Amino acid sequence: ETGVTQSPTHLIKTRGQQVTLRCSSQSGHNTVSWYQQALGQGPQFIFQYYREEENGRGNFPPRFSGLQFPNYSSELNVNALELDDSALYLCASSLREPAKNIQYFGAGTRLSVL
């Protein structure tokens, strides 16, 4: 158990809809990262939030957006869903430490876009 919780665990949406995924970080962690994992592949970095500001972004379009709240919980929002957005979305929290960067993952939200 990492102490990182994600909700919901599963979600089914149709193309064009919008979705919000939620993450509660491990106590004491000030950084949260979001990853997309397609079936059979490794996680791909979407973006990271540190002290409520975006602090790095992967190769994802602007319809992927996020928020981090003062209690360090976080949201991932995806607008105008596409079929290729179907994936496992993973949230990971960490404590910003130079040259260490160990991340603690939640169990993920499995999103299916029909």
Site residues, another protein (CB under 8 A): 2, 4, 31, 33, 35, 41-45, 48, 50, 55-59, 88, 90, 92, 94, 96, 99-108, 110
Q: CA-based angle 78:50:94, to the nearest 5?
A: 95
Distance, C-alpha 63 to centroid of its chain: 14
Q: Which residues contact 87 (CB under 8 A, 6 or more apart)?
A: 36, 37, 38, 39, 110, 111
Q: Are 89 and 77 in contact (CB under 8 A)?
A: no
Q: With respect to another protein, which residue has the nearer C-beta, 2 or 73?
A: 2
State in angstroms the smallest separation of the CB of 23 from another protein: 11
Quote the CA–CA distance of 35 and 99 in Å, as a whole number. Answer: 20
Q: With respect to another protein, which residue has the nearer C-beta, 8 or 16?
A: 8
State in angstroms the smallest separation of the CB of 9 from another protein: 10
Torsion angles phi and psi, residue 26, rounded to 5: -65, 140
State in angstroms the smallest separation of the CB of 98 from another protein: 8
Q: With respect to another protein, which residue has the nearer C-beta, 18 or 61?
A: 61
State in angstroms the smallest separation of the CB of 15 from another protein: 23
Q: With respect to another protein, which residue has the nearer C-beta, 12 or 80?
A: 12
